[in-house]
Structure 1
Amino acid sequence: MNSEFIIAVHSLVLLAHKPDGMASSEEIAANVCTHPARVRKVLGFLRKNGYVTTREGSGGGYRLCIDPSDMTLADIYRTMAAGAIKPNWCSGNPDMDCMVGSNMQEVMNDVFCGAEKQLESYFQGITIGQMLSRIKACQKT
């Protein structure tokens, strides 16, 4: 899993929490505990994919443009992190004479692709709105 996915989900939940659905990159970054430039990069992907819009100038920032109950973690995962659980390197070599060494990469690729499908399936059942509800349920009174 990559940090961009985490930043995206956190940012979207924060925007869903805001009464007007809008926040600046500085405000989001302070809430996420990261640098505003990272937030702008992540929200740029989200804007490109139609999840947020921007307003420039005084009082500007990022605003949700999709209902939080219609936005699933699977949607965000596919936008920000698809393929992230597959390792960059795998043992073996398809040109080896050994049955194990020559087939390990293909078999591991199938394993990780299956794991990613399971993860996406799980994420499909969780919306940004539900994430906000979970956070509200955790709030200490």
Structure 2
Amino acid sequence: MNSEFTIAVHSLTLLAYKPEHMATSDMIAHNVCTHPARVRKVMALLRKQGYVGAKEGIGGGFILKCEPDQVTLGEIYQLTSLGSVKPGWCSGDIEQECMVACNMASVMEGIFMNAERQMIEYFNQWTILDVLIQVRKEQQSKT
């Protein structure tokens, strides 16, 4: 899984926490603990899909344009990370005569696809609002 998923979920949760306020990429990056350029890349993707709006210039930033209880982590995973469970390299070679070697790549691809499908099903049980609620519970347990 790539970090864009985590950045997207964190950013959407932050915007849901203060839904009436705009947040700059610098503000979000400071909260996420990453570089503003990485945040801008993810926010551009979220903006293109209608999850956030943006205003450029002085007083600008990003604002939530979706209902936090309607956006699932599964949606965000599919937007930012689909296919990332499968490694870039899989053992085996279809040119070899060995039964294991010539079939391993396709077998492993099926396993990874199934794992990703199950992970998306699990993520679909969580919304951005659910994440915000969990963050608030964490905070309350510390006070």
Instruction: Report the TM-score range of the alignment, normalised by the length of the smaller protein.
Output: over 0.9
Give 1:129's aligned amino acid: L
**How far off is 1:57 after superposition?**
2.2
Partner of 2:73 in structure 1? 73
RMSD, matched Cα: 0.9
Matched length:
141
Three-state SS of the structure 2 residue aligned to 1:23 is coil
Q: Which runs of structure 2 are paired with 1:99-118 in the superposition (5 Å)?
A: 99-118=99-118
Q: In 2, Cα distance between the equivalents of 1:136 and 1:87? A: 35
Q: In 2, Cα distance between the equivalents of 1:12 and 1:85? A: 23
Q: Among all aligned residue pairs of Structure 1 and Structure 2, give the percentage whose two residues are the same amino acid.
A: 54
Three-state SS of the structure 1 residue aligned to 2:69 is helix
Give 1:11's aligned amino acid: S
Q: Do the aligned partners of residues 127 and 65 (structure 1) sit closer, same or farther apart at CA in structure 2, a change above 3 Å counting?
A: same
- For structure 2, the residue ranges without an aligned partner over 5 or more in a row are none
Partner of 2:133 in structure 1? 133
Partner of 1:22 in structure 2? 22
Asked if the contact 2:19–2:64 (Cα under 8 Å) also holds between the matched residues in 1, the reply is no
- The TM-score with structure 2 as length reference comes to 0.96
Q: Does 1:3 align with 2:25?
A: no
- For structure 1, the residue ranges without an aligned partner over 5 or more in a row are none
Q: Do the aligned partners of residues 90 and 19 (structure 1) sit closer, same or farther apart at CA in structure 2, a change above 3 Å counting?
A: closer
Asked if the contact 2:12–2:128 (Cα under 8 Å) also holds between the matched residues in 1, the reply is yes
- The TM-score with structure 1 as length reference comes to 0.97
Asked if the contact 2:19–2:63 (Cα under 8 Å) also holds between the matched residues in 1, the reply is no
**How far off is 1:58 after superposition?**
2.1
Give 1:60's aligned amino acid: G
